[in-house]
Each structure stands twice: as structure tokens, then as C-alpha cells.
């Protein structure tokens, strides 16, 4: 799809703000170096963000004998963002300030048989209301709500096209949520949300190529290629959990057999335990979280059944990760989401050892495999950054008609523009025209 100059400007504004959040306080010169944009472009975009009250001037720093450099930082109080993590067994919601610090959290359980769209929407609305109340912020200060929903999502229409674990097909989720939540809504799925969180604040930060493996009830891989989030032509990239790991293997909710997800997702791990020890006290048949937690505690205690189950799970996981290493040659593979967090280092150690047996030596030599260092729910954090991206895009869309009206033929602004000298190169200077800073 051809990108307009407004699209490029919005992407550059987003990237400059991302760098300010990551580096606060920072100078315009440092921002130009970090983004690859010209200093004139950065100065213009910083001015726009100051006008929006998303950032603020915070003083000066010496510059090796030259003029002192002005410093800017994110204005944490300039607004709020909400990230929503809809998973198969829970809804987790976090409210952030503009520096993406967590101000409040809330969670709702989704019990078996309670996954109809209307039921899930009710859980989301209740949790959103609670975080707003707990943080003590006015609803009008919330710039946007990012919502991550499992499966395949059409970002433009807000439709959850396919969620195999719930058998959802073409659910107009954004419309359903809009009836309960009076703020701008931005939908995507957890693969993209986790990848963005790692790109901004986690193990993928500063890397051009990374894979973020999302291990929960469902399984997938968020892809960062060339320093940017890779979505694919229909926003469906990363459905690695539905690639075949075992020919004619376990039946998957997607209808195929032997998918990666059926061996390393939470239900798959429960099946691994059931096959090894059907009457194990570690198995909680109706509770994924309790089973994974029990496994983690038992591994720490040296229980041989738990150690065997985690080792077998790691072998399946490593075979799939080796494919990603051989195919994409990433700098880092990040194990993310709640299953990875709970099983932690024992799972990571087994995965590293097993990947070395399957991956080609040359690509593996350039790849680190790590646990996510993000201290909060990475899906909520990533969803909140997607809401921030949407807020900046909305600003660009609102400003364009005003700019067009101001320079319409016969207008006072048009006459003044015709009489004024040519401006210095700014946000669409010759150096930057058609170029976008690396971003999500």
C-alpha cells in the first residue's frame, strides 16, 4: 500500500516520541542520531509533541564547548493509556501514564463456557472501569485503549476474524466494546503486542531482527524484522503456533493435527503431564494456571515427573524455535507471556540445550535465547503502545483538514503563504521526504 506524506510524518512522530520515552531526558541532536532523521525534521516533530503536551522542556546540557543543548522529556501527566490483554482464561487490564509507568491493574477470570463475545466484552468493560477508578484519572485524559485479542484481527475494521480456541468467526469486537467503553479503541493480537513491548522496553530493544515467542494458552511468534514490527500482508504474520510439528499429531482447535501449540501451549503441557502421569497431583484438569504453577514449584523441588514434563515440553518448543532460527536468522529469541514467566529458567535452560541440537550452527551462533525482562504484563504494555500510536495517528488526521483549510485558495493564510519567503527544510525536507524512521 502506498504511504502518504501524512503516514510518514505520523510514523516519524511516533518514533521520536518512542525515543524520548526510552531516553528521557534527551536532546534533539541525540534524537536525530537515534532515529536517522535530520535535525530540522526532529526539531519540527519535537515542537509538535510539545504543542500536544506529550513532552516538556526540562533544561539544558553542555555540548563539548558549543551552545548548550535543550533537553526534552516525556510529560508523564500529559495523558493516560490503557492496555487490555484478553486471553483464553482471563482479562488483564493495566492503566499507564505517558511514560508507560503502570498506575493501576485489574483482572477478570474467564471460566470455561463463558467465552461468548458479549461475556468477554462485559469482563473487559468491568476491568477498564476499575483501573480508571483505582488510578483516579478522568476518563477524558485516557488517550486510547489498546486491546489484544487472541487469533487473527483486522486492525482497520476492529473485527476478530478468527479465534480458534473460542471458535470465534468475524466478531465485530471493536463495535461491541465501543458500546461499553467511551474512548478510542485499537485492536490487535498478542503476538504484535508482545513484540512491540520487547522492542520498546525489553530484550528486542536496539535489535534489528528478533522473534518474540508468546507462550500462553495459545502460542505464536511476534516478528521484528529490519527494526520494525512485521505484520504480513493481512496482519497475520507470526502464526507459528499453527505450523505442523508432529505429522498426524494431536488435534488442534484450528482443525489441523500436530500444531506447535498442541505441544507447548498450556493445554499441551497439561496433556504432556497427563500422558506421563495420568494421576499426578500436579494436574488440575480444569485449571491451566494451577497446573503450570504446580509444575514450576515441583521442578524447583526436583520432582522427577515435573522435570520430565518440562524437559519434554522444552524439546518440542526447541524444535519449533530451531525452525525460526534457521528461517529468520534473528539476533534474539525472547520467551514471553505467562507460561514462560512461570516455568522460567528451568524451561529456558532445557530449550537452549535442545535448540543447539536442531538449529544450524551458523545462524544459531548469532542468536541469543532469553526470557522476557519486561516487568509487567508484556501484552498490556504492547497494547498500550499501540493505543499511543493510534492517538498520534488521530492527531495527524485532525490536523490535515485544518492545514488544508488554512491554505485553501482565497484564504488569508494562503495569501500570507504566497507572500512569505520559502521555509527552511523541516519535517518533509529533501533529506527525509519519503523516508520513515525505523519504528513499530
234-249 confidence digits (pLDDT tens): 999 999 999 999 999 9
Instruction: Please identify which residue in the block is written with the cell numbers 488442534.
Output: 252
Decide: 207 and 179 in contact? Cβ < 8 Å: no
Length of the chain: 440
Is 229 within 8 Å of 196 (Cβ atoms)? Answer: yes
Decide: 106 and 123 in contact? Cβ < 8 Å. no
Task: Say yes or no to pLDDT of 431 above 80.
Answer: no
pLDDT beyond 80 at 429: no
CB 329 within 8 A of CB 366: yes
| Residue 313, C-beta contacts closer than 8 angstroms, at least 6 positions apart | 263, 264, 268, 269, 272, 343, 347
Q: Above 80 in pLDDT, residue 412?
A: no
Tell me the H-state helices in 140-232: 173-178, 190-201
- Region for residue 312 given its phi and psi (left: phi exceeds 0; alpha: psi -120 to 50; beta: otherwise): alpha
Q: How far apart are CA 164 and CA 151, in angstroms?
A: 7
CA separation for the pair 332, 215 (Å, rounded): 16
Following CA atoms 286, 288, 294, 296 in sequence, which dihedral angle do they give, to the nearest 10 degrees? Answer: 170
The pLDDT value given to residue 425 = 35
Q: pLDDT at position 394, please?
A: 82
Which grid cell is 348?
529456558
- Residue 308 CB neighbours (<10 A): 15
8-state DSSP, 239: -
Q: What average pLDDT does this structure show over 60-82?
A: 88
Residue 39 has pLDDT above 80, yes or no: yes
Backbone angles phi, psi at 207, to 5 degrees: -110, 145
Cβ density class 248-274: b for 16+ within 10 Å, e for less: ebbebbbebebbbbbbbbbbbbbbbbe
Facing residues of 174 across strands? none
Whether residue 232 has pLDDT greater than 50: yes
pLDDT at position 437 is: 55
For residue range 76-135, list pLDDT tens digits in order. Answer: 999 999 999 999 999 999 999 999 999 999 999 999 899 999 999 999 999 999 999 999
Judged against a pLDDT cut of 60, whether residue 402 lies above it is answered with no
Percent of the chain residues past pLDDT 70, beyond the cut = 88
Query: Which of 411, 392, 390 shows the shortest CA–CA distance to 402?
Result: 411
Helix/strand/coil for 38: coil
Number of helices followed by number of strands (H, E) in the chain: 14, 16
Candidates 308, 307, 319, 304; CA nearest to 351 is 319
Mean pLDDT of 218-241: 95
Query: Does residue 334 contact residue 370 with C-beta atoms inside 8 Å?
Result: yes
CA 83, CA 341: separation in Å to the nearest integer? 19
- For residues 427 and 440, give the distance between their C-alpha atoms in angstroms, rounded to a whole number: 19
With a threshold of 0.75, does the pTM exceed it? yes
Mean pLDDT of the chain: 89
Distance of alpha carbon 254 from alpha carbon 164, whole angstroms: 5
Indicate the DSSP class of residue 184: -
Written as nine digits, the cell of 259 is 500444531
Amino acid at each position: 500500500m502506498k504511504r502518504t506524506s501524512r503516514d510518514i510524518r505520523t510514523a516519524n512522530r511516533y518514533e521520536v516520541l518512542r525515543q524520548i520515552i526510552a531516553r528521557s531526558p534527551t536532546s534533539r541532536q541525540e534524537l536525530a542520531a537515534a532515529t536517522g532523521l535530520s535535525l530540522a525534521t526532529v526539531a519540527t516533530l519535537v515542537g509538535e509533541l510539545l504543542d500536544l503536551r506529550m513532552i516538556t522542556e526540562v533544561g539544558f546540557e553542555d555540548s563539548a564547548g558549543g551552545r548548550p543543548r535543550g533537553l526534552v522529556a516525556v510529560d508523564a501527566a500529559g495523558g493516560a493509556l490503557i492496555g487490555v490483554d484478553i486471553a483464553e482464561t482471563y482479562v488483564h487490564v493495566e492503566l499507564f501514564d505517558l511514560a508507560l509507568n503502570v498506575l493501576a491493574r485489574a483482572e477478570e477470570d474467564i471460566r470455561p463456557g463463558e467465552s461468548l463475545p458479549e461475556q468477554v466484552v462485559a469482563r473487559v468493560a468491568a476491568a477498564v472501569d476499575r483501573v480508571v477508578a483505582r488510578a483516579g484519572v478522568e476518563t477524558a485524559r485516557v488517550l486510547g485503549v489498546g486491546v489484544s485479542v487472541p487469533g487473527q484481527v483486522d486492525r482497520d475494521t476492529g473485527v476478530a476474524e478468527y479465534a480458534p480456541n473460542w471458535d470465534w468467526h468475524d466478531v465485530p469486537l471493536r463495535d461491541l466494546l465501543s458500546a461499553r467503553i467511551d474512548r478510542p479503541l485499537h485492536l490487535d493480537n498478542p503476538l504484535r503486542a508482545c513484540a512491540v513491548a520487547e522492542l520498546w522496553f525489553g530484550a528486542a530493544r536496539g535489535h534489528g531482527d528478533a522473534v518474540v515467542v508468546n507462550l500462553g494458552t495459545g502460542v505464536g511468534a511476534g516478528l521484528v524484522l529490519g527494526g520494525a514490527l512485521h505484520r504480513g500482508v493481512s496482519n497475520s504474520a507470526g502464526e507459528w503456533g499453527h505450523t505442523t510439528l508432529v505429522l498426524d499429531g494431536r488435534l488442534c482447535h484450528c482443525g489441523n493435527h500436530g500444531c506447535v501449540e498442541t505441544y507447548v501451549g498450556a493445554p499441551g503441557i497439561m496433556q504432556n503431564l497427563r500422558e506421563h502421569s495420568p494421576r499426578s497431583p500436579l494436574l488440575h484438569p480444569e485449571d491451566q494456571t494451577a497446573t503450570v504453577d504446580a509444575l514450576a514449584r515441583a521442578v524447583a523441588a526436583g520432582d522427577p515427573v515435573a522435570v520430565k514434563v518440562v524437559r519434554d515440553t522444552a524439546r518440542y518448543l526447541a524444535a519449533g524455535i530451531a525452525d525460526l532460527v534457521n528461517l529468520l536468522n534473528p539476533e534474539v529469541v525472547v520467551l514471553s507471556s505467562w507460561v514462560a514467566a512461570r516455568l522460567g529458567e528451568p524451561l529456558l535452560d532445557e530449550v537452549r540445550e535442545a535448540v543447539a541440537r536442531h538449529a544450524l550452527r551458523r545462524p544459531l551462533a548469532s542468536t541469543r535465547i532469553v526470557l522476557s525482562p519486561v516487568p509487567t504484563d508484556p501484552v498490556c504494555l504492547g497494547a498500550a503502545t499501540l493505543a499511543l500510536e493510534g492517538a498520534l495517528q488521530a492527531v495527524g488526521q485532525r490536523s490535515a483538514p485544518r492545514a488544508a483549510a488554512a491554505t485553501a485558495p482565497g484564504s488569508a493564510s494562503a495569501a500570507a503563504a504566497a507572500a512569505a519567503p520559502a521555509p527552511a527544510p523541516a519535517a518533509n525536507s529533501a533529506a527525509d521526504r519519503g523516508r520513515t524512521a525505523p519504528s513499530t
